Amino acid sequence: MNRDGGTRRAGWGRWFGRPGRSLTRRLIWLASGWILLALVATGLVLTNQFKESALRRLGNVLAETTDELVVRTVTASGTVMTPQIMDAPTLRVFSGKYWMTAEPTLAGGLRILTRSDSLYGEDLVAPPDLPARLDDAYGQTITYNAVGPAGEPLRIAASMKSLPGRAAPVVFFVGIDRSNVEADARQFATVTWVALLLLGFGLVSAVFIQVQVGLRPLYDLRNEIAAVRKGQAARIERAYPLEIQPLAEQVNNLLDHNQEVVDRQRTHVGNLAHALKTPISVMLAEAGTAQGALPELVRRQTQIMQGQVDHHLRRARAAARAAHGLGETTPVPEVLDELAVMIEQVFRDKGAEIDWRAPDDLAFLGERQDLQEILGNLIENAAKFSRRRVRVSAGGNGLGQMIVVVEDDGPGLPADQREAVMKRGARLDESAPGSGLGLSIVEDLTRAYGGRLTLSDSDMGGLKAVLELPAAHGA
């Protein structure tokens, strides 16, 4: 008999659940969405407002120049004359600031009358529909964007006005380079969007931290409930915020209620056991003192009744403990060591040798008595039919379960008989002692804990039983 130690594998919980089912993810995405929309709207408003403000400043310059043109323009014998105004940019060729005057034609176009020296014989671009628009907005200023004689972007103001001594109106044009305005607008937009991006990152980070800190009590409560479920704690002990404390109290009340149910069921099971076992024992004792066919029949049927009573009482106890026995854990190595020593003594005549291995920290999420009964029946059954050697290996699968494999070097069991052998009272070998309830008890107790028992061939030559049971500490 030997024993190997094991190392504990730590499990890491997830902060986030699946998409759409995580409260953390939902809060973060909702807050981030609103922050993103608010920042985008703020950026658009700020950049647009800055550009509009810059264009208004250009408009003021254009209006002042237009007023000066109107004041300096005179008519003589119907001829329009506009001397060069005292504005240095309008006197320098292709300086970026221009003016000109024109009059509407009968064909719906414009005829240039005078122009600034800065145009150097070129004309300001006018849209085809401009005369009609000016006529509709007589006396008002219309602004539009165009390309200047040097290829520069212009902001142009045009207005149609009447002059004394002239029947036909005159259209005044003033244009100014808007490159600096657009450059300032782009720079402002860049700075604004970078600042808003950094602000958005900071706000989303703050939301993430706020959600994590705000929901921390829920995470702690979840971990405490998991600890209770795994058998590491019996109750929820921590104090929680006012919004969560009632939930923690309700969980504790539920645990207390479950414990009361378990205790009540155990009491009923014990009472039933005493009520049934005493008459059965009396019948066996009375039948044991007499000879004949009738006493033999009574003894045999009474023994069957006793086995069935024990079987169903075990199932009832196991079901009650498995359904309500939170917090109960049983170290697997201790149970295996005790069973190995005891069963080797029982089968010492054949020199049975039980070789078992299990990690030191492996624990069964259930009561010790149930684990002893499950493993005891399996190991005893393997030792009974083995030639000499029985091998038991146990370990966790990382999914909250423990796997126990029991193998022997005996004759094994045909595949077509494995299902039948787990039925109540099934005994394929009548020469071996027993009631035929061993594997049935194992099957029932295992299912009561949500586990599974499967039989197959062992590489030792005999039968291999694979047992899956709930494990504590996330084995």
pLDDT digits (tens, 9 = 90+) for 162-198: 888 787 899 999 999 999 999 999 999 999 999 999 9
pLDDT at residue 125, as a whole number: 92
Angle at 213 between CA 207 and CA 214, to 5 degrees: 85
pLDDT higher than threshold 80 for residue 271: no
Average pLDDT in the 144-160 region? 93
pLDDT > 70 fraction of the chain, expressed in percent and rounded: 84
* SS3 label, residue 410: coil
pLDDT at residue 264, as a whole number: 77
Q: How confident is the model at residue 358 (pLDDT cuts 50, 70, 90)?
A: very high
pLDDT higher than threshold 50 for residue 431: no
Q: How confident is the model at residue 473 (pLDDT cuts 50, 70, 90)?
A: low
pLDDT higher than threshold 90 for residue 284: no
> Please, which residues have CB within 8 angstroms of residue 252's CB and are 6 or more apart in sequence?
235, 236
Q: How confident is the model at residue 17 (pLDDT cuts 50, 70, 90)?
A: very low
Average pLDDT in the 145-150 region? 92
CA 383 to chain centroid, in Å, comes to: 49
278 against 297, higher pLDDT = 297
258 against 350, higher pLDDT = 350
pLDDT at residue 222, as a whole number: 84
Average pLDDT in the 217-234 region? 79
CA separation, residue 274 to residues 36, 84, 163, 268, 305 (Å) = 72, 125, 125, 10, 14
Average pLDDT in the 254-262 region? 79
- 140 phi and psi angles, rounded to 5 deg: -100, 165
pLDDT at residue 14, as a whole number: 41
Residue that is written with structure tokens 């190595």 in the block: 333
318 against 84, higher pLDDT = 84
- Reading the block at residue 446, the tokens are 């295992």
Count, residues in the chain: 475
Average pLDDT, the chain: 82
Q: What is the pLDDT of residues 51-95, one digit of tens each?
A: 999 989 998 999 999 999 988 888 877 788 888 888 888 899 999
Average pLDDT in the 203-232 region? 84
pLDDT at residue 15, as a whole number: 38
pLDDT at residue 101, as a whole number: 92
Domains of the chain: 20-228 (no CATH), 254-324 (1.10.287), 330-470 (3.30.565.10)
Q: Is the dihedral of CA 257, 262, 268, 270 positive or negative?
A: negative
Average pLDDT in the 412-433 region? 60
36 against 429, higher pLDDT = 36
Contact between 94 and 149 (Cβ < 8 Å): yes
37 against 274, higher pLDDT = 37
pLDDT at residue 471, as a whole number: 87
pLDDT higher than threshold 50 for residue 428: no
Average pLDDT in the 397-405 region? 87
**How far is 467 from 465, CA to CA, in rounded Å?**
6
- Whole-structure pTM value: 0.52
Average pLDDT in the 400-427 region? 77
Average pLDDT in the 264-279 region? 71
pLDDT higher than threshold 90 for residue 247: no
pLDDT higher than threshold 80 for residue 324: no
- Reading the block at residue 55, the tokens are 């264009």
pLDDT > 90 fraction of the chain, expressed in percent and rounded: 32
